[in-house]
Amino acid sequence: MKSVRKAAAIGGGLIGGGWVARCVLAGVDVDVFDPDPEAERKVAALMANAERAMARLWQGQALGNRGQLRFVSSIAEAVEGADLIQESTPERLDIKKKVHAEIGASAEAEAVIGSSTSGLLPSDFQVDSDRADRVMVAHPYNPVYLLPVVEIVGGARTSDAAIARAMEAYADIGMKPVHIRKEIDAFVGDRLLEAMWRESLWLIKDGVATAETIDDVVRYGLGMRYAQMGQFMTYRLGGGEAGMRHFLEQFGPSLKWPWTKLMDVPEWDDQLIDMIAEQSDAQAKGLSVKELEQIRDNNLVDFLKVLHRNDWGAGALLRNPAAASLKDGANTLPDGDVLKTFDGMVDPDWTDYNGHMTEFRYLDVFSTSTDELLVWIGGGPAYASSGASWYTIETHIRHLDEVAAGKPIRVETQLVDHDEKRLHLFHRMIGVEKENLLATGEHMLMHVDMKAGRGSPMPAEMKAALDIVAERQRDMPRPDAAGARIGIRRKG
């Protein structure tokens, strides 16, 4: 059960809009206030990016309920009844102080009031708020709908209870809140970024390396480690079995070496700005920011998928809304005789060197469809923990037509036959745009007692659910292709 039902977004730019998208897709209603007349368009663009990313992340699995998105005309209206209030206004103390005074005048006593600021201090901007005890920094990273970390920093008047509640509330929308113990400028992440940034500026200014070279050193090397282990854990591995202390004792002396120019800041003049802007343009090789954003999001989603499968880091936080609903035991057959068991698109990852959907992805889709039906009859992932499960024992796929990457597809499922232990399914994969039959998948499944390792009768209520499906689909003709043999048929 989610502890955040309604959120308020004060400011809907790149960061504010990212918050909106994260909340809506996590099933939280969001009221947005932003005086910018372009705000609706900007938020819509971010929502589209986020939806695309989620579709890729959960490939054809239902995304759970979305929250309602509303644009409202005042801060008071937005924050009314909100459990979570996120302020993402420009980085000016005068603006933030005023906005927090206004938020405080209408906020619920138990609301979390987080600011997305990347540098201002909560003690400074909470002063005029009637709810100063609930005001804190909650600093995310772009894109907010994909990167989970959020730095929580309290100010002089922030209560411990508010911090504790924030740790819960942000986790509830799929994030990784980290509590920074002391209120310092730029918190943790931006200080690390700033350190690397300063060093990089010197490298460019001194003609040692270009923006592209520096980025290459990062993305072909140390960045691949940072994405999963950070720096201390990575160094721990550098120490080998001798351990972290050994590593530190070895590494320590180099602190005294003149390795960095951090003691100084380069002059921020037009010449340096020109140099970096030109190098950055060269590096982008004509890709627009919009194109780069898509590339970034695809890579981030795929990293998340990897880490989800490996149950590590940012991926270990992910909660598949479809899987979550299974655990909630919402195992009920949808109405009607046509069972739509898959509703998604051909993921661009699924295409092969011919530009077609890769062979095994047809079975991936059909398996997802089978799993969906199993969930409906109470035989999904949660059921396996009872010691019994459904095993596929045979599959027959026919490829009938082609479909391109990104195109919508659905699967309709027919129950051809069943008895106490067995299930004979026939899936039809349909291209939504042309309503053409792309492929069929015919499957025989066995209900298995996993301990005994052999077929066993399914529970009566599961059988009853299948009987209902069979009854509803009584008038559907048996598919011509069901039970067909494979072979070269020769004339004469």
Distance CA 79, CA 480 (A): 59
Is residue 130 a contact partner of residue 190, using CB atoms and an 8 Å limit?
no
Q: How many residues lie near a copy of itself (CB under 8 A)?
A: 158
Is residue 278 a contact partner of residue 210, using CB atoms and an 8 Å limit?
no
Using DSSP, state whether 81 is helix, strand or coil.
Answer: coil
If the CB atoms of residues 5 and 176 are measured against a copy of itself, the closer one turns out to be: 176
CB of 66 to a copy of itself, least distance (A): 24
The closest alpha carbon to 82, from 55, 112, 37, belongs to: 112
Q: Which of 1, 109, 460, 488 binds a copy of itself (CB under 8 A)?
A: 488
* Position 245 contacts a copy of itself (CB under 8 A): yes
Our measurement of the distance from residue 218's CA atom to the centroid of its chain's CA atoms, rounded to an integer in Å, reads: 24
DSSP assignment letter at 357? B
CB of 454 to a copy of itself, least distance (A): 12
Is residue 142 a contact partner of residue 152, using CB atoms and an 8 Å limit?
no
- By DSSP bridging, strand 176-179 and strand 408-418 are unpaired
Residues 141-170 that bind a copy of itself (CB under 8 A): 141-142, 146-149, 151
Residue 251 tokens, joined: 């590494």
CB of 253 to a copy of itself, least distance (A): 8
* Position 432 contacts a copy of itself (CB under 8 A): no
CB of 43 to a copy of itself, least distance (A): 14
Q: Which of 63, 95, 108, 226 binds a copy of itself (CB under 8 A)?
A: 226
Only one residue has tokens 């579709």, namely 55
Phi/psi for 454 (5° steps) reads -150, 170
* Position 108 contacts a copy of itself (CB under 8 A): no
CB of 434 to a copy of itself, least distance (A): 15
CB of 81 to a copy of itself, least distance (A): 30
* Position 367 contacts a copy of itself (CB under 8 A): yes
Site string for a copy of itself, 13-52 (x = CB under 8 A): -x--------------------------------------
Q: Which of 95, 127, 167, 192 binds a copy of itself (CB under 8 A)?
A: 192
Distance CA 104, CA 58 (A): 38
Q: Which of 77, 80, 293, 412 binds a copy of itself (CB under 8 A)?
A: 293
CA distances from 332 to 32, 193, 324, 326, 427 (A): 35, 49, 15, 10, 19
Of 19-27, 52-60, 98-106, 261-269, the window that binds a copy of itself (rule: CB under 8 A) is: 261-269
Using DSSP, state whether 99 is helix, strand or coil.
Answer: helix
* Position 436 contacts a copy of itself (CB under 8 A): no
* Position 216 contacts a copy of itself (CB under 8 A): yes
Residues 333-362 that bind a copy of itself (CB under 8 A): 349, 353-354, 356, 358-362
If the CB atoms of residues 51 and 212 are measured against a copy of itself, the closer one turns out to be: 212
If the CB atoms of residues 65 and 387 are measured against a copy of itself, the closer one turns out to be: 387
Task: Judge residue 489's burial from the number of C-beta atoms within 10 Å of its C-beta, 0-12 exposed, 13-18 middle, 19 or more buried.
Answer: exposed
Q: Is the dihedral of CA 11, 15, 19, 24 positive or negative?
A: positive
Q: Which of 48, 161, 164, 193 binds a copy of itself (CB under 8 A)?
A: 193
User: Using alpha carbons only, what angle is made at residue 60 by residues 59 and 64, rounded to the nearest 5 degrees?
Assistant: 100
* Position 286 contacts a copy of itself (CB under 8 A): no
* Position 199 contacts a copy of itself (CB under 8 A): yes
Is residue 124 a contact partner of residue 93, using CB atoms and an 8 Å limit?
yes
Distance CA 373, CA 280 (A): 51
Our measurement of the distance from residue 396's CA atom to the centroid of its chain's CA atoms, rounded to an integer in Å, reads: 34
* Position 200 contacts a copy of itself (CB under 8 A): yes
DSSP assignment letter at 395? E
Distance CA 89, CA 96 (A): 7
Residues 444-463 that bind a copy of itself (CB under 8 A): 444, 450
* Position 299 contacts a copy of itself (CB under 8 A): yes
Residues 388-417 that bind a copy of itself (CB under 8 A): 389, 391-399, 416-417
If the CB atoms of residues 107 and 458 are measured against a copy of itself, the closer one turns out to be: 458
Element (H, E) at 384: helix 381-384
CA atoms within 13 A on the CB side of 303: 17
Residues 309-338 that bind a copy of itself (CB under 8 A): 309-310, 312-314, 317
* Position 256 contacts a copy of itself (CB under 8 A): yes
Of 18-26, 96-104, 126-134, 181-189, the window that binds a copy of itself (rule: CB under 8 A) is: 181-189
